[in-house]
């Protein structure tokens, strides 16, 4: 239902405080950061299948991966780059000449050159000074631009780095004609208010022409922070299907898109009805189950069981749904269980043209409730045990690692 006057929309009261870019350029990281989810691996064929669906849905930029990582990764990037997708295929590399060369050889026309910025990364990971990082960054951007690539410059842990260094570094790469700059909340520590301040300060100091944000979800704020960035005028949000990504993941594509479309009334150019199908495809190929209560694409997102809720939904869907499930290519479900009410039964019986008296409905309700309460949980517990075992120790098992180490000739290693 969309009748005017049934619900109030207070987003309009704050519209003057927002400056959405037009257009918003969606940059999808599912095949790079999403694949860095522990235990996840996409073959080149699988990457192409996901990329085709994302491109057809209207995604503008797809990060295919880091070619220097492996032969298979380089092949995947080459395959996507030559597939004739409507989306721009991007590949990533460190501020290292060999990484940039690998992207050039892959055939990708877009590159994301990345380096860490915070002091903790410089001291303990890179073991480089700020001046060394700046010099390597300038050289990498210059190398990529000379090869004719569209260059995005990314810093890891931007929001925990000294602002004076951030300003100096980004100004230097913009002088080398970097096309886009990316601000990263690598460990997800920003809150919306703080992030708004940071981005306004970044804009004032760096004066970016085209800029992105890359938000992680360690505190469950990735989508909120991404929307905050878009309100502040950031042109290109990084997103992942189903919120996949390192540790707790990244900003979920479907959540950012539908929030823009339905809460703000911003046209994104994304075919929203394709998003659920893409979500299910990525679930299958990644092996990471979608949480039942995951926003928008979770199995329960448009399911109703409680009697009060089903009665309201049957009268007008706006009572307990903020948007129509068809927007995502989904359908609503009325669940029959312990909390079911009579209205849901009446509606269910209509599927067969059946009508029951109040006495029969009461008896049917009793049977449903008793049947639900009597159901065992053994099957669910088996699933949970297997799920936990898979994700508590993903990747190569210890025994397999030590076998590999012995075969590789590591001294002192026994199977």
Q: Do the domain assignments include residue 3?
A: no
Q: Do the domain assignments include residue 385?
A: yes
pLDDT tens digits along 329-360: 999 988 888 888 888 888 888 889 999 999 99
Please, what is the average pLDDT of the chain?
94
Reported confidence tier of residue 136, pLDDT bands at 50, 70, 90: very high
Beta bridge partners of 212: 182, 236
> Which among 234, 257, 286 is the end of a domain?
286
- State the pLDDT at residue 304: 85
Q: Do the domain assignments include residue 129?
A: yes
- State the pLDDT at residue 342: 85
Together in a domain, 268 and 155: yes
> Which among 286, 319, 337 is the end of a domain?
286
3-class SS letters over the chain: CCCCCCCCCHHHHHHHHCCCCCCCCCEECCCCCHHHCCCCCCCHHHHHHHHHHHHHHCCCEEEEECHHHCHHHHHHHHHHHCCCCCCEEEEEEECCHHHHHHHHHHCCCEEEEEEECCHHHHHHHHCCCHHHHHHHHHHHHHHHHHCCCEEEEEEECHHHCCHHHHHHHHHHHHHCCCCEEEEEECCCCCCHHHHHHHHHHHHHHHCCCCEEEEEECCCCCHHHHHHHHHHCCCCEEEEEHHHCCCCCCECEHHHHHHHHHHHHCCCCCCCHHHHHHHHHHHHHHHCCCCCCCCCCCCCCCCEECCHHHHHHHHHCHHHCCCCCHHHHCCCCEECCCCCCCHHHHHHHHHHHCCCCCHHHHHHHHHHHHHHHHHCCCHHHHHHHHHHHHHHHCCCCCHHHHHHHHHHCCCCCCCC
Together in a domain, 247 and 308: no
Tell me the average pLDDT across 123-133.
Answer: 98
| CATH code of the domain in which 281 resides | 3.20.20.70
> Which among 286, 316, 335 is the end of a domain?
286
Tell me the average pLDDT across 24-35.
Answer: 98
Together in a domain, 233 and 157: yes
Together in a domain, 130 and 250: yes
Together in a domain, 330 and 233: no
Q: Do the domain assignments include residue 80?
A: yes
Together in a domain, 238 and 319: no
- State the pLDDT at residue 1: 38
Range of the domain at 159: 19-286
Q: Do the domain assignments include residue 196?
A: yes
Together in a domain, 307 and 351: yes
Together in a domain, 58 and 161: yes
Together in a domain, 343 and 310: yes
User: Could you tell me the pTM of the whole model?
Assistant: 0.92
**Lowest-pLDDT choice from 105-119, 178-192, 348-362, 376-390:** 376-390
- State the pLDDT at residue 233: 97
- Tally the domains of the chain: 3
Together in a domain, 269 and 127: yes
Return the higher-pLDDT residue of 384 and 58. Answer: 58
- State the pLDDT at residue 2: 46
Together in a domain, 53 and 166: yes
Q: Residue 373 pLDDT more than 80?
A: no
Return the higher-pLDDT residue of 13 and 91. Answer: 91
Q: Residue 375 pLDDT more than 80?
A: no
Q: Do the domain assignments include residue 132?
A: yes
Tell me the average pLDDT across 144-168.
Answer: 98
Together in a domain, 208 and 177: yes
Q: Residue 132 pLDDT more than 60?
A: yes
Structure tokens at 222: 């990735």
- State the pLDDT at residue 337: 84
Q: Do the domain assignments include residue 60?
A: yes
Q: Do the domain assignments include residue 4?
A: no
pLDDT tens digits along 73-114: 999 999 999 999 999 999 999 999 999 999 999 999 999 999
Q: Residue 14 pLDDT more than 80?
A: yes
Reported confidence tier of residue 368, pLDDT bands at 50, 70, 90: confident
Q: Residue 201 pLDDT more than 60?
A: yes
């Amino acid at each position: 239902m969309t009748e005017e006057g049934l619900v109030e929309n207070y987003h309009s009261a704050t519209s003057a405080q927002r400056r959405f870019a037009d257009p918003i350029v969606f940059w999808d990281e599912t095949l790079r950061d999403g694949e860095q989810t522990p235990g996840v691996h996409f073959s080149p064929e699988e990457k192409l299948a996901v990329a085709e669906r994302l491109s057809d849905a209207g995604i503008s930029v797809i990060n295919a991966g880091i070619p220097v990582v492996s032969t298979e990764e380089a092949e995947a990037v080459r395959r996507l780059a030559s597939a004739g997708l409507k989306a721009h295929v991007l590949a990533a590399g460190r501020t290292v000449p060999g990484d940039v060369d690998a992207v050039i050889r892959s055939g990708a026309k877009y590159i994301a050159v990345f380096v860490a910025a915070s002091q903790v990364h410089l001291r303990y990971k890179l073991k480089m000074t700020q001046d060394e990082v700046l010099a390597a960054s300038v050289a990498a951007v210059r190398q990529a631009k000379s090869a004719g690539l569209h260059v995005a410059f990314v810093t890891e842990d931007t929001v925990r780095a000294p602002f004076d260094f951030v300003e100096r570094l980004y100004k230097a790469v913009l002088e080398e004609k970097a096309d886009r700059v990316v601000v990263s909340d690598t460990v997800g520590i920003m809150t919306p208010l703080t992030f708004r301040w940071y981005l306004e300060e970044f804009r004032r100091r760096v004066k970016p022409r085209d800029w992105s944000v890359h938000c992680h979800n360690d505190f469950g704020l990735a989508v909120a922070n991404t929307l905050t960035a878009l309100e502040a005028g950031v042109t290109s949000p990084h997103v992942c299907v189903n919120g996949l990504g390192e540790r707790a993941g990244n900003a979920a594509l479907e959540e950012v898109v539908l929030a823009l479309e339905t809460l703000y009334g911003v046209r994104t150019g994304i075919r929203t009805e394709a998003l659920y199908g893409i979500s299910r495809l990525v679930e299958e190929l990644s092996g990471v189950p979608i949480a039942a209560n995951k926003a928008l694409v979770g199995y329960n997102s448009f399911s109703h069981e409680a009697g009060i809720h089903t009665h309201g939904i049957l009268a007008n869907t706006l009572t307990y749904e903020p948007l129509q499930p068809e927007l995502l290519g989904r359908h609503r479900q009325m669940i029959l269980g312990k909390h079911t009410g009579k209205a849901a039964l009446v509606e269910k019986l209509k599927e067969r043209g059946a009508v029951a008296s109040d006495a029969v409905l009461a008896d049917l309700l009793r049977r449903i409730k008793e049947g639900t309460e009597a159901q065992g949980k053994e099957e669910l517990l088996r699933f949970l045990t297997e799920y936990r075992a898979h994700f508590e120790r993903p990747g190569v098992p210890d025994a397999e690692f030590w076998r590999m180490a012995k075969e590789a000739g590591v001294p002192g290693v026994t199977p």
